[in-house]
Chains A and B, each alone.
Chain A
Protein backbone atom coordinates (compact mmCIF):
# COMPACT_ATOMS: atom_id res chain seq x y z
CA UNK A 1 0.00 0.00 0.00
CA UNK A 2 1.40 3.38 -0.95
CA UNK A 3 0.88 6.78 0.68
CA UNK A 4 -2.27 8.71 -0.23
CA UNK A 5 -2.51 12.50 -0.14
CA UNK A 6 -5.28 15.07 -0.36
CA UNK A 7 -4.94 17.15 -3.51
CA UNK A 8 -7.92 19.47 -3.09
CA UNK A 9 -11.46 19.82 -1.82
CA UNK A 10 -14.73 21.71 -2.17
CA UNK A 11 -18.08 22.05 -0.43
CA UNK A 12 -21.43 23.76 -0.73
CA UNK A 13 -23.14 25.46 2.17
CA UNK A 14 -25.29 23.02 4.17
CA UNK A 15 -28.95 23.97 4.28
CA UNK A 16 -32.34 23.81 2.62
CA UNK A 17 -31.43 24.28 -1.02
CA UNK A 18 -34.89 24.49 -2.57
CA UNK A 19 -33.36 25.93 -5.75
CA UNK A 20 -30.74 23.22 -6.29
CA UNK A 21 -31.13 19.60 -7.36
CA UNK A 22 -28.99 16.70 -6.21
CA UNK A 23 -26.87 16.83 -9.35
CA UNK A 24 -26.42 20.60 -9.14
CA UNK A 25 -25.28 20.36 -5.53
CA UNK A 26 -22.86 17.60 -6.52
CA UNK A 27 -21.45 19.58 -9.41
CA UNK A 28 -20.81 22.65 -7.25
CA UNK A 29 -18.70 20.67 -4.79
CA UNK A 30 -16.90 18.68 -7.51
CA UNK A 31 -16.01 21.82 -9.49
CA UNK A 32 -14.50 23.43 -6.43
CA UNK A 33 -12.52 20.30 -5.57
CA UNK A 34 -11.21 19.77 -9.11
CA UNK A 35 -10.24 23.41 -9.28
CA UNK A 36 -8.27 23.10 -6.05
CA UNK A 37 -6.59 19.88 -7.23
CA UNK A 38 -5.64 21.17 -10.70
CA UNK A 39 -4.08 19.86 -12.87
CA UNK A 40 -4.87 16.40 -11.42
CA UNK A 41 -7.94 14.72 -12.93
CA UNK A 42 -9.72 11.88 -11.14
CA UNK A 43 -9.62 8.39 -12.60
CA UNK A 44 -12.44 7.11 -10.37
CA UNK A 45 -15.41 8.59 -8.51
CA UNK A 46 -16.83 7.22 -5.25
CA UNK A 47 -20.16 8.77 -4.26
CA UNK A 48 -21.29 8.68 -0.64
CA UNK A 49 -25.07 8.89 -0.52
CA UNK A 50 -27.73 7.46 1.74
CA UNK A 51 -31.23 8.20 0.49
CA UNK A 52 -31.38 9.30 -3.15
CA UNK A 53 -33.20 6.09 -4.06
CA UNK A 54 -35.93 6.74 -1.50
CA UNK A 55 -36.21 10.54 -1.54
CA UNK A 56 -35.25 11.44 -5.10
CA UNK A 57 -36.21 8.21 -6.89
CA UNK A 58 -32.67 8.18 -8.23
CA UNK A 59 -30.14 5.38 -8.13
CA UNK A 60 -26.91 4.77 -10.05
CA UNK A 61 -25.47 8.06 -8.83
CA UNK A 62 -21.97 7.08 -9.89
CA UNK A 63 -22.70 7.24 -13.59
CA UNK A 64 -25.22 10.08 -13.23
CA UNK A 65 -22.83 12.38 -11.41
CA UNK A 66 -19.73 11.45 -13.39
CA UNK A 67 -21.71 12.40 -16.49
CA UNK A 68 -23.15 15.61 -15.04
CA UNK A 69 -19.82 16.72 -13.56
CA UNK A 70 -17.92 16.40 -16.86
CA UNK A 71 -16.23 13.11 -16.00
CA UNK A 72 -18.16 10.82 -18.36
CA UNK A 73 -16.36 7.54 -18.88
CA UNK A 74 -14.50 7.12 -15.59
CA UNK A 75 -15.14 4.36 -13.06
CA UNK A 76 -17.90 5.58 -10.72
CA UNK A 77 -20.06 3.92 -8.05
CA UNK A 78 -22.15 4.76 -5.00
CA UNK A 79 -21.15 3.64 -1.50
CA UNK A 80 -23.91 3.36 1.09
CA UNK A 81 -23.56 2.83 4.83
CA UNK A 82 -26.31 5.13 6.18
CA UNK A 83 -24.74 8.03 8.11
CA UNK A 84 -21.30 6.52 7.54
CA UNK A 85 -21.69 6.62 3.74
CA UNK A 86 -19.36 9.59 3.24
CA UNK A 87 -16.58 8.07 5.31
CA UNK A 88 -17.10 4.71 3.63
CA UNK A 89 -16.79 6.35 0.19
CA UNK A 90 -13.62 8.09 1.36
CA UNK A 91 -12.21 4.73 2.39
CA UNK A 92 -12.96 3.20 -1.03
CA UNK A 93 -11.20 6.10 -2.74
CA UNK A 94 -8.28 5.73 -0.34
CA UNK A 95 -8.03 2.01 -1.10
CA UNK A 96 -8.18 2.62 -4.85
CA UNK A 97 -5.21 5.01 -4.71
CA UNK A 98 -3.28 3.14 -2.00
CA UNK A 99 -3.51 -0.12 -3.95
CA UNK A 100 -2.11 1.47 -7.07
CA UNK A 101 -5.25 0.76 -9.09
CA UNK A 102 -5.59 4.48 -9.81
CA UNK A 103 -3.38 7.52 -9.22
CA UNK A 104 -6.24 9.90 -8.40
CA UNK A 105 -9.73 9.36 -7.04
CA UNK A 106 -12.60 11.73 -6.33
CA UNK A 107 -14.78 11.29 -3.26
CA UNK A 108 -18.14 13.03 -3.41
CA UNK A 109 -20.66 13.11 -0.58
CA UNK A 110 -24.06 14.39 -1.64
CA UNK A 111 -27.50 14.30 -0.08
CA UNK A 112 -30.79 15.93 -1.07
CA UNK A 113 -33.21 15.54 1.83
CA UNK A 114 -35.56 18.50 1.51
CA UNK A 115 -37.56 17.44 -1.52
CA UNK A 116 -39.62 15.37 0.93
CA UNK A 117 -40.76 16.54 4.33
CA UNK A 118 -41.85 15.33 7.75
CA UNK A 119 -42.73 11.73 8.41
CA UNK A 120 -41.52 10.42 5.04
CA UNK A 121 -38.02 11.78 5.71
CA UNK A 122 -38.12 10.31 9.24
CA UNK A 123 -39.12 6.94 7.78
CA UNK A 124 -36.40 7.11 5.10
CA UNK A 125 -33.73 7.96 7.68
CA UNK A 126 -35.17 5.16 9.80
CA UNK A 127 -34.27 2.68 7.08
CA UNK A 128 -30.77 2.75 8.57
CA UNK A 129 -32.28 0.72 11.42
CA UNK A 130 -33.39 -2.93 11.25
CA UNK A 131 -36.51 -2.85 9.07
CA UNK A 132 -37.91 -6.11 10.48
CA UNK A 133 -37.22 -5.60 14.18
CA UNK A 134 -36.73 -1.88 14.84
CA UNK A 135 -38.37 0.27 12.18
CA UNK A 136 -41.33 -2.14 12.08
CA UNK A 137 -42.15 -0.96 15.61
CA UNK A 138 -41.84 2.72 14.74
CA UNK A 139 -38.19 3.17 15.67
CA UNK A 140 -36.58 6.26 14.15
CA UNK A 141 -32.97 7.37 14.46
CA UNK A 142 -33.87 9.88 17.22
CA UNK A 143 -35.82 7.15 19.02
CA UNK A 144 -32.86 4.76 19.00
CA UNK A 145 -30.57 7.54 20.25
CA UNK A 146 -33.15 8.30 22.93
CA UNK A 147 -33.09 4.66 24.09
CA UNK A 148 -29.32 4.93 24.51
CA UNK A 149 -29.51 8.33 26.21
CA UNK A 150 -32.27 7.32 28.64
CA UNK A 151 -30.29 4.27 29.73
CA UNK A 152 -27.08 6.32 30.04
CA UNK A 153 -28.87 8.95 32.15
CA UNK A 154 -30.29 6.18 34.34
CA UNK A 155 -26.94 4.50 34.93
CA UNK A 156 -25.00 7.72 35.53
CA UNK A 157 -27.78 9.58 37.38
CA UNK A 158 -27.83 12.45 34.90
CA UNK A 159 -30.38 14.92 33.61
CA UNK A 160 -30.81 15.82 29.95
CA UNK A 161 -29.38 19.26 30.73
CA UNK A 162 -25.97 17.75 31.43
CA UNK A 163 -25.53 17.05 27.71
CA UNK A 164 -26.13 20.71 26.76
CA UNK A 165 -22.43 21.49 26.39
CA UNK A 166 -22.10 19.39 23.26
CA UNK A 167 -24.76 21.40 21.41
CA UNK A 168 -23.50 24.71 22.84
CA UNK A 169 -19.98 23.95 21.58
CA UNK A 170 -21.26 22.91 18.15
CA UNK A 171 -23.27 26.11 17.74
CA UNK A 172 -20.38 28.23 18.98
CA UNK A 173 -18.17 26.78 16.24
CA UNK A 174 -20.89 26.84 13.58
CA UNK A 175 -21.30 30.58 14.14
CA UNK A 176 -18.10 31.35 12.23
CA UNK A 177 -18.42 28.65 9.55
CA UNK A 178 -19.85 30.25 6.39
CA UNK A 179 -21.05 26.81 5.23
CA UNK A 180 -22.92 25.96 8.44
CA UNK A 181 -26.69 25.64 8.50
CA UNK A 182 -26.97 27.15 12.00
CA UNK A 183 -24.76 30.15 12.66
CA UNK A 184 -26.33 31.24 15.93
CA UNK A 185 -25.20 30.74 19.50
CA UNK A 186 -27.16 28.33 21.66
CA UNK A 187 -27.42 29.13 25.35
CA UNK A 188 -27.05 26.22 27.73
CA UNK A 189 -30.13 27.38 29.63
CA UNK A 190 -32.19 27.19 26.41
CA UNK A 191 -31.14 23.60 25.69
CA UNK A 192 -33.94 21.94 27.62
CA UNK A 193 -36.70 24.17 26.27
CA UNK A 194 -36.86 22.82 22.71
CA UNK A 195 -39.75 20.65 21.52
CA UNK A 196 -39.31 16.93 22.10
CA UNK A 197 -38.48 14.62 19.19
CA UNK A 198 -38.19 11.36 21.12
CA UNK A 199 -37.78 11.93 24.86
CA UNK A 200 -35.20 12.73 26.16
CA UNK A 201 -33.92 13.78 22.71
CA UNK A 202 -35.22 17.22 21.79
CA UNK A 203 -34.68 19.59 18.85
CA UNK A 204 -31.57 21.13 20.43
CA UNK A 205 -30.11 17.69 21.02
CA UNK A 206 -30.45 16.43 17.46
CA UNK A 207 -28.73 17.51 14.25
CA UNK A 208 -30.81 19.08 11.49
CA UNK A 209 -31.35 17.11 8.28
CA UNK A 210 -30.19 19.16 5.34
CA UNK A 211 -28.98 19.25 1.75
CA UNK A 212 -25.32 19.50 0.90
CA UNK A 213 -22.37 18.23 -1.10
CA UNK A 214 -18.66 18.03 -0.38
CA UNK A 215 -15.82 16.59 -2.45
CA UNK A 216 -12.21 15.62 -2.00
CA UNK A 217 -9.56 14.62 -4.54
CA UNK A 218 -7.06 12.00 -3.35
CA UNK A 219 -3.84 11.15 -5.14
CA UNK A 220 -0.56 9.30 -4.92
CA UNK A 221 2.56 11.23 -3.86
CA UNK A 222 3.71 11.95 -7.40
CA UNK A 223 0.40 13.75 -8.10
CA UNK A 224 1.15 16.44 -5.51
CA UNK A 225 2.27 19.81 -6.87
CA UNK A 226 5.85 20.52 -5.74
CA UNK A 227 4.91 23.37 -3.41
CA UNK A 228 1.67 21.84 -2.14
CA UNK A 229 1.05 21.07 1.52
CA UNK A 230 1.46 17.36 2.14
CA UNK A 231 -1.73 16.21 3.86
CA UNK A 232 -1.53 12.44 4.13
CA UNK A 233 -4.31 9.96 4.87
CA UNK A 234 -2.51 8.30 7.77
CA UNK A 235 -5.26 5.82 8.65
CA UNK A 236 -8.49 4.42 7.29
CA UNK A 237 -10.56 1.83 9.16
CA UNK A 238 -14.15 0.63 8.96
CA UNK A 239 -15.71 -1.80 11.44
CA UNK A 240 -19.18 -3.18 12.09
CA UNK A 241 -21.16 -4.23 15.16
CA UNK A 242 -24.39 -6.08 15.87
CA UNK A 243 -26.89 -4.42 13.56
CA UNK A 244 -29.86 -3.82 15.84
CA UNK A 245 -29.33 -1.82 19.01
CA UNK A 246 -31.03 -4.53 21.08
CA UNK A 247 -28.49 -7.10 19.87
CA UNK A 248 -25.41 -5.19 21.06
CA UNK A 249 -23.38 -6.73 23.85
CA UNK A 250 -23.77 -3.33 25.59
CA UNK A 251 -26.12 -0.73 24.12
CA UNK A 252 -23.91 2.00 25.62
CA UNK A 253 -20.72 0.82 23.97
CA UNK A 254 -19.97 1.84 20.37
CA UNK A 255 -17.85 -1.21 19.73
CA UNK A 256 -17.42 -0.62 16.00
CA UNK A 257 -16.26 2.91 16.76
CA UNK A 258 -13.84 1.66 19.38
CA UNK A 259 -12.37 -0.98 17.09
CA UNK A 260 -12.03 1.37 14.13
CA UNK A 261 -10.22 3.93 16.31
CA UNK A 262 -7.85 1.26 17.62
CA UNK A 263 -7.08 0.16 14.06
CA UNK A 264 -6.64 3.78 12.97
CA UNK A 265 -4.25 4.52 15.83
CA UNK A 266 -2.19 1.47 14.91
CA UNK A 267 -2.04 2.45 11.23
CA UNK A 268 -1.05 6.03 12.02
CA UNK A 269 1.39 4.99 14.72
CA UNK A 270 -0.19 7.30 17.26
CA UNK A 271 -2.48 7.30 20.28
CA UNK A 272 -5.47 9.30 21.46
CA UNK A 273 -3.24 12.02 22.95
CA UNK A 274 -1.57 12.64 19.56
CA UNK A 275 -4.83 13.68 17.86
CA UNK A 276 -5.24 17.47 17.70
CA UNK A 277 -8.93 17.52 16.73
CA UNK A 278 -11.73 14.97 16.32
CA UNK A 279 -14.67 15.43 13.96
CA UNK A 280 -17.08 12.94 15.48
CA UNK A 281 -20.64 11.94 14.60
CA UNK A 282 -22.64 14.23 16.89
CA UNK A 283 -26.02 13.55 15.30
CA UNK A 284 -27.23 13.34 18.91
CA UNK A 285 -25.41 14.46 22.06
CA UNK A 286 -25.39 10.89 23.41
CA UNK A 287 -23.42 9.78 20.33
CA UNK A 288 -20.83 12.50 21.01
CA UNK A 289 -20.41 11.25 24.59
CA UNK A 290 -20.19 7.60 23.53
CA UNK A 291 -17.82 8.36 20.62
CA UNK A 292 -15.44 10.17 22.99
CA UNK A 293 -15.51 7.14 25.27
CA UNK A 294 -14.96 4.74 22.36
CA UNK A 295 -12.00 6.81 21.13
CA UNK A 296 -10.28 6.69 24.50
CA UNK A 297 -10.90 10.26 25.71
CA UNK A 298 -13.10 9.19 28.62
CA UNK A 299 -13.92 6.10 30.62
CA UNK A 300 -17.24 4.36 29.92
CA UNK A 301 -20.00 6.41 31.53
CA UNK A 302 -17.96 9.61 31.81
CA UNK A 303 -17.88 10.99 28.25
CA UNK A 304 -20.62 13.49 29.19
CA UNK A 305 -18.15 15.18 31.54
CA UNK A 306 -16.19 16.48 28.52
CA UNK A 307 -19.18 18.57 27.38
CA UNK A 308 -17.76 21.99 28.07
CA UNK A 309 -15.46 24.38 26.24
CA UNK A 310 -12.34 23.69 28.26
CA UNK A 311 -12.40 20.10 27.07
CA UNK A 312 -13.94 20.11 23.57
CA UNK A 313 -13.69 23.77 22.46
CA UNK A 314 -11.24 24.98 19.81
CA UNK A 315 -8.64 25.54 22.56
CA UNK A 316 -9.74 22.52 24.58
CA UNK A 317 -7.99 19.25 25.25
CA UNK A 318 -9.69 17.47 22.34
CA UNK A 319 -11.52 19.92 20.06
CA UNK A 320 -14.60 18.37 18.43
CA UNK A 321 -17.14 19.63 15.89
CA UNK A 322 -14.74 22.43 15.02
CA UNK A 323 -16.91 23.78 12.19
CA UNK A 324 -20.18 23.10 14.00
CA UNK A 325 -20.37 19.33 13.63
CA UNK A 326 -23.55 17.62 12.55
CA UNK A 327 -25.48 19.68 15.09
CA UNK A 328 -24.73 23.16 13.70
CA UNK A 329 -23.01 22.69 10.34
CA UNK A 330 -25.92 20.38 9.61
CA UNK A 331 -26.28 16.69 8.76
CA UNK A 332 -26.61 16.02 5.05
CA UNK A 333 -26.71 12.22 5.51
CA UNK A 334 -24.26 10.51 3.20
CA UNK A 335 -22.39 13.77 2.55
CA UNK A 336 -21.59 14.34 6.21
CA UNK A 337 -18.44 12.20 6.30
CA UNK A 338 -16.96 14.08 3.35
CA UNK A 339 -17.70 17.42 5.06
CA UNK A 340 -15.79 16.11 8.06
CA UNK A 341 -12.87 15.23 5.78
CA UNK A 342 -12.84 18.66 4.15
CA UNK A 343 -12.96 20.32 7.57
CA UNK A 344 -10.05 18.28 8.92
CA UNK A 345 -8.09 19.06 5.76
CA UNK A 346 -8.71 22.80 6.33
CA UNK A 347 -7.55 22.52 9.92
CA UNK A 348 -4.31 20.81 8.84
CA UNK A 349 -3.67 23.32 6.04
CA UNK A 350 -4.18 26.14 8.55
CA UNK A 351 -6.99 27.66 6.48
CA UNK A 352 -9.77 27.23 9.05
CA UNK A 353 -9.95 30.96 9.83
CA UNK A 354 -11.87 31.75 13.00
CA UNK A 355 -12.36 27.99 13.50
CA UNK A 356 -8.67 27.20 13.45
CA UNK A 357 -7.29 24.76 16.03
CA UNK A 358 -3.77 26.00 16.76
CA UNK A 359 -0.83 23.78 15.75
CA UNK A 360 -3.12 21.14 14.29
CA UNK A 361 -0.95 18.34 12.87
CA UNK A 362 -3.20 15.31 13.15
CA UNK A 363 -6.98 15.23 12.80
CA UNK A 364 -9.38 12.31 13.18
CA UNK A 365 -12.84 11.97 11.67
CA UNK A 366 -15.49 9.36 12.33
CA UNK A 367 -18.85 8.53 10.79
CA UNK A 368 -21.50 6.28 12.30
CA UNK A 369 -24.17 4.37 10.41
CA UNK A 370 -27.52 4.25 12.16
CA UNK A 371 -27.13 3.70 15.88
CA UNK A 372 -23.53 2.62 15.41
CA UNK A 373 -23.59 -0.65 13.44
CA UNK A 374 -21.05 0.85 11.04
CA UNK A 375 -18.18 3.06 12.15
CA UNK A 376 -15.55 4.47 9.83
CA UNK A 377 -12.55 6.35 11.18
CA UNK A 378 -9.81 8.22 9.31
CA UNK A 379 -6.75 10.11 10.50
CA UNK A 380 -5.14 12.81 8.36
CA UNK A 381 -1.73 14.27 9.13
CA UNK A 382 0.23 17.22 7.81
CA UNK A 383 3.79 16.28 6.84
CA UNK A 384 5.04 19.84 6.19
Chain B
Protein backbone atom coordinates (compact mmCIF):
# COMPACT_ATOMS: atom_id res chain seq x y z
CA UNK B 1 0.00 0.00 0.00
CA UNK B 2 1.16 3.52 -0.77
CA UNK B 3 2.94 5.38 2.05
CA UNK B 4 0.54 8.33 2.11
CA UNK B 5 -2.46 6.05 2.12
CA UNK B 6 -1.11 4.04 5.02
CA UNK B 7 -0.22 7.25 6.85
CA UNK B 8 -3.79 8.55 6.55
CA UNK B 9 -5.12 5.36 8.10
CA UNK B 10 -2.52 4.83 10.78
CA UNK B 11 -4.48 6.12 13.77
CA UNK B 12 -7.42 3.93 12.90
CA UNK B 13 -5.39 0.94 11.89
CA UNK B 14 -2.81 0.89 14.67
CA UNK B 15 -4.70 2.53 17.53
CA UNK B 16 -8.13 1.27 16.52
CA UNK B 17 -9.77 4.65 16.92
CA UNK B 18 -13.48 4.23 16.36
CA UNK B 19 -16.48 6.52 16.65
CA UNK B 20 -19.68 6.52 18.66
CA UNK B 21 -22.79 8.03 17.06
CA UNK B 22 -24.02 10.86 19.28
CA UNK B 23 -27.57 10.30 18.08
CA UNK B 24 -28.10 6.56 18.55
CA UNK B 25 -24.95 5.32 20.33
CA UNK B 26 -23.85 2.90 17.62
CA UNK B 27 -20.10 2.24 17.73
CA UNK B 28 -18.54 2.50 14.29
CA UNK B 29 -15.22 1.15 13.08
CA UNK B 30 -13.56 2.08 10.79
CA UNK B 31 -14.59 5.73 10.93
CA UNK B 32 -17.18 6.94 8.47
CA UNK B 33 -19.18 10.08 7.79
CA UNK B 34 -22.72 8.72 8.27
CA UNK B 35 -24.01 6.37 10.96
CA UNK B 36 -25.10 3.12 9.30
CA UNK B 37 -27.96 2.80 11.81
CA UNK B 38 -29.52 6.27 11.93
CA UNK B 39 -27.63 8.25 9.24
CA UNK B 40 -26.47 10.67 11.94
CA UNK B 41 -23.40 12.75 11.13
CA UNK B 42 -22.28 13.66 14.63
CA UNK B 43 -19.78 11.36 16.33
CA UNK B 44 -17.58 11.24 19.43
CA UNK B 45 -14.24 9.42 19.54
CA UNK B 46 -14.50 5.86 20.81
CA UNK B 47 -11.34 3.95 21.70
CA UNK B 48 -11.61 0.24 21.07
CA UNK B 49 -9.85 -2.24 23.33
CA UNK B 50 -9.09 -4.60 20.50
CA UNK B 51 -10.71 -7.61 22.16
CA UNK B 52 -13.35 -9.77 20.61
CA UNK B 53 -14.16 -13.19 19.23
CA UNK B 54 -14.00 -14.90 15.87
CA UNK B 55 -17.31 -14.51 14.01
CA UNK B 56 -16.12 -16.37 10.92
CA UNK B 57 -12.77 -17.38 9.46
CA UNK B 58 -11.04 -18.86 6.45
CA UNK B 59 -7.61 -20.30 5.78
CA UNK B 60 -6.44 -18.57 2.59
CA UNK B 61 -4.31 -20.78 0.32
CA UNK B 62 -4.42 -18.76 -2.92
CA UNK B 63 -2.93 -15.48 -1.77
CA UNK B 64 -3.16 -12.24 -3.72
CA UNK B 65 -0.07 -10.37 -4.92
CA UNK B 66 1.86 -9.02 -1.95
CA UNK B 67 0.73 -11.79 0.40
CA UNK B 68 2.33 -14.82 -1.28
CA UNK B 69 4.98 -15.27 1.40
CA UNK B 70 2.34 -15.27 4.14
CA UNK B 71 0.20 -18.04 2.57
CA UNK B 72 -1.54 -19.95 3.89
CA UNK B 73 -2.89 -17.43 6.38
CA UNK B 74 -6.03 -17.04 8.46
CA UNK B 75 -8.45 -14.26 7.60
CA UNK B 76 -11.33 -13.63 9.96
CA UNK B 77 -14.32 -11.51 10.78
CA UNK B 78 -13.90 -10.54 14.43
CA UNK B 79 -16.79 -9.27 16.56
CA UNK B 80 -15.27 -6.64 18.83
CA UNK B 81 -16.53 -6.39 22.40
CA UNK B 82 -17.79 -2.87 21.63
CA UNK B 83 -19.93 -4.15 18.74
CA UNK B 84 -18.29 -3.58 15.35
CA UNK B 85 -17.32 -6.47 13.10
CA UNK B 86 -13.83 -6.10 11.62
CA UNK B 87 -11.84 -7.93 8.96
CA UNK B 88 -8.42 -9.04 10.17
CA UNK B 89 -5.76 -11.70 9.88
CA UNK B 90 -5.28 -14.14 12.74
CA UNK B 91 -1.66 -14.64 13.67
CA UNK B 92 0.13 -16.75 16.24
CA UNK B 93 -2.61 -19.36 16.32
CA UNK B 94 -2.52 -23.14 16.08
CA UNK B 95 -4.28 -24.20 12.94
CA UNK B 96 -6.54 -26.73 14.63
CA UNK B 97 -7.44 -24.32 17.43
CA UNK B 98 -9.16 -21.70 15.27
CA UNK B 99 -12.94 -21.80 15.63
CA UNK B 100 -15.98 -19.56 15.60
CA UNK B 101 -16.30 -18.02 19.05
CA UNK B 102 -12.56 -18.13 19.70
CA UNK B 103 -11.46 -15.13 21.82
CA UNK B 104 -8.84 -12.94 20.15
CA UNK B 105 -6.93 -9.78 20.92
CA UNK B 106 -5.35 -7.13 18.75
CA UNK B 107 -1.72 -7.37 17.80
CA UNK B 108 -0.21 -4.72 15.60
CA UNK B 109 2.52 -5.97 13.41
CA UNK B 110 4.85 -4.69 10.77
CA UNK B 111 5.31 -6.42 7.47
CA UNK B 112 8.61 -6.06 5.72
CA UNK B 113 9.90 -7.50 2.50
CA UNK B 114 11.28 -10.55 4.21
CA UNK B 115 9.10 -11.06 7.27
CA UNK B 116 5.37 -11.44 7.02
CA UNK B 117 3.36 -11.32 10.20
Contacts and interface: CB of A to CB of B under 8 A. Distances in A.
Contacts of B75: 137-139, 143, 147, 198
A148 B56 CA distance: 7
A245 B65 contact: no
B64 A138 contact: yes
Contacts of B56: 147-148, 150-151, 154, 251
Interface in B74-114: 75-77, 84-89, 100
Contacts of A140: 60, 62-64
10 contacts: A119-B65, A122-B65, A130-B87, A133-B86, A135-B64, A138-B73, A196-B61, A198-B75, A245-B87, A247-B36
Given A139-B87, A150-B56, 10 more contacts: A119-B68, A138-B60, A138-B70, A142-B60, A198-B58, A198-B59, A198-B60, A245-B87, A246-B86, A251-B85
Interface in B35-80: 36, 55-68, 70, 73, 75-77
B61 A154 contact: no
A197 B62 contact: yes
B30 interface: yes
B24 interface: no
Interface in A111-163: 119-120, 122-123, 126, 130, 132-140, 142-143, 146-148, 150-151, 154
A148 B77 CA distance: 10
Contacts of B68: 119
A245 B85 CA distance: 9
A199 B73 CA distance: 10
CB-based closest 5 A-B pairs = A146-B58, A123-B64, A151-B56, A123-B65, A138-B67
A201 interface: yes
Given A132-B30, A137-B75, A122 B63 contact: yes
Contacts of A196: 59, 61
A342 B1 CA distance: 39
A20 interface: no
A154 B64 contact: no
Contacts of A244: 87
A135 B89 CA distance: 11
Contacts of B70: 138
A247 B28 CA distance: 9
Nearest to B84: A246
B100 A132 contact: no
B60 A246 contact: no
A73 interface: no
A195 interface: yes
A301 to B, nearest CB: 15
A142 B60 CA distance: 8
A137 B89 contact: yes
A120 B36 contact: no
A201 B77 contact: no
Contact of B58 (A122, A154, A200, A247): A200
Nearest to A125: B64
Contacts of B58: 143, 146-147, 150, 198-201
A242 interface: yes
A242 B60 CA distance: 24
A138 B63 contact: yes
Nearest to A203: B62
A150 B57 contact: yes
B31 to A, nearest CB: 11
A150 B100 contact: yes
Contact of B61 (A130, A136, A197): A197
Contacts of B60: 138, 140, 142-143, 146, 198
Contacts of B5: 132
A150 B5 CA distance: 31
Given A123-B66, A138-B70, A150-B56, A246 B87 contact: yes
A1 B84 CA distance: 43
B54 to A, nearest CB: 10
B115 to A, nearest CB: 15
A199 B1 CA distance: 26
Contacts of A122: 62-65
A133 B5 CA distance: 12
A123 B57 CA distance: 19
A171 B9 CA distance: 44
A143 B60 CA distance: 6
Given A119-B68, A150-B56, A251-B77, A142 B62 contact: yes
Nearest to B55: A151
